């Protein structure tokens, strides 16, 4: 029993000694109100608003008498405002997505200046609870002044495209050095299919064959053999 009291006494004396000597509590592993507030501020600066609120909640819970609580409360209100704005954007995005039949997961167009080749590729997903028949990709190309250069239509390889399935497409329009902008849309049996995003416009990337190691000339020639030439 005497040994236990001696240990308690030693610990108490050590804590008092640390405080008395003005030692930084954080340096010995004690998380102060300043620590939680700084972490909350840092998390907000990095746009981690939920994490920032967690640090603020811990500060209020563990240091209820801290003079930093008023500032922390202001920080929390700012976090909540930003979180509400993010939630609103997500809800709007989901609402628009519900109106679409096809999601354009991603696509791009590239102009290879040294091989005088243009290729556009991307992926789509069927968002409906039923298959979509006879889906065509329609690509439209414009110059910098938005004047029409050419348009091209090819079918998606699968017919019909199945529910929740992802499909890739690749197109090789005729080369024109003035190509600057591209637009794609999708038709089913001649009718435009609503997509998400609803508008799909892109700047055409201009690069050089030597910088794209994965697209050598032989690969491009082989792909040309399998792509139907259906210019409109």
CB neighbour list of residue 119: distance below 8 Å, 6 or more residues apart: 109, 110, 112, 170, 171, 172, 215, 220, 223
Residues 90 and 114 both lie in one domain: no
In a domain, 74, yes or no: yes
Residues 149 and 196 both lie in one domain: yes
Q: How far apart are CA 49 and CA 78, in angstroms?
A: 9
Instruction: Give the CATH number of the domain where residue 118 resides.
Output: 2.60.40.10
In a domain, 134, yes or no: yes
Q: How far apart are CA 128 and CA 162, in angstroms?
A: 9
Residues 122 and 87 both lie in one domain: no
pLDDT value at residue 227: 47
pLDDT value at residue 98: 84
Q: How far apart are CA 118 and CA 141, in angstroms?
A: 11
Report pLDDT digits (tens) over 207-229.
Answer: 876 554 455 555 554 554 454 44
In a domain, 176, yes or no: yes
Q: Using the 3D structure, point to which of 74, 96, 118 is the last residue of a domain.
A: 96
What does the chain come to in residues? 232
Give the domain range for residue 69. Answer: 23-96
Rg (Cα) of the chain, in Å, rounded?
30
Counted domains in the chain = 2
What does the buried/exposed string (b/e) look like for 170-194 if buried means 16 or more CB atoms within 10 Å of the residue's CB?
Answer: ebbbeeeeebbbbebbbebeeeebe
pLDDT value at residue 185: 92
pLDDT value at residue 112: 86
Residue with tokens 């039923």: 130
Q: How far apart are CA 166 and CA 157, in angstroms?
A: 11
Phi-psi region of 146 (alpha: psi -120 to 50; beta: other; left: phi over 0): left
pLDDT value at residue 6: 42
- Per-residue pLDDT for the chain (232 aa), expressed as one digit of tens each? 445 444 444 444 444 444 455 555 555 567 899 999 999 999 999 999 999 999 999 999 999 999 999 999 999 999 999 999 998 888 888 888 888 889 999 899 998 877 888 889 999 999 999 999 999 999 999 999 999 999 999 999 888 999 989 999 999 988 988 999 999 999 998 899 998 887 788 888 888 765 544 555 555 545 544 544 443 3
- 142 preceded by cis ω (within 30°)? no
């Amino acid at each position: 029993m005497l040994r236990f009291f001696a240990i308690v006494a030693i610990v108490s004396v050590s804590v008092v000694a640390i405080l008395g000597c003005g030692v930084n509590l954080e340096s010995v592993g004690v998380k102060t109100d300043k620590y939680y507030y700084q972490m909350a501020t840092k998390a907000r600066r990095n746009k981690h608003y939920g994490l920032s609120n967690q640090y603020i909640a811990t500060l209020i819970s563990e240091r209820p008498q801290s003079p930093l609580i008023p500032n922390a409360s202001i920080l929390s209100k700012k976090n909540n405002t930003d979180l509400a704005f993010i939630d609103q954007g997500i809800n709007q995005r989901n609402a628009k997505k519900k109106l679409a039949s096809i999601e354009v997961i991603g696509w791009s167009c590239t102009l290879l200046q040294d091989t005088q080749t243009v290729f556009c590729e991307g992926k789509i997903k069927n968002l409906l609870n039923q298959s979509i028949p006879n889906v065509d990709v329609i690509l439209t190309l414009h110059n910098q002044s938005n004047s029409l250069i050419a348009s091209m239509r090819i079918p998606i390889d699968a017919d019909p495209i199945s529910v929740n399935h992802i499909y890739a497409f690749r197109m090789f329009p005729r080369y024109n050095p003035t190509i600057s902008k591209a637009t794609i849309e999708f038709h089913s049996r001649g009718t435009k299919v609503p997509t998400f995003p609803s508008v799909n416009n892109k700047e055409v990337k201009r690069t050089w064959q030597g910088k794209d190691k994965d697209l050598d000339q032989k690969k491009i020639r082989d792909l040309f053999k399998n792509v139907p030439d259906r210019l409109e």
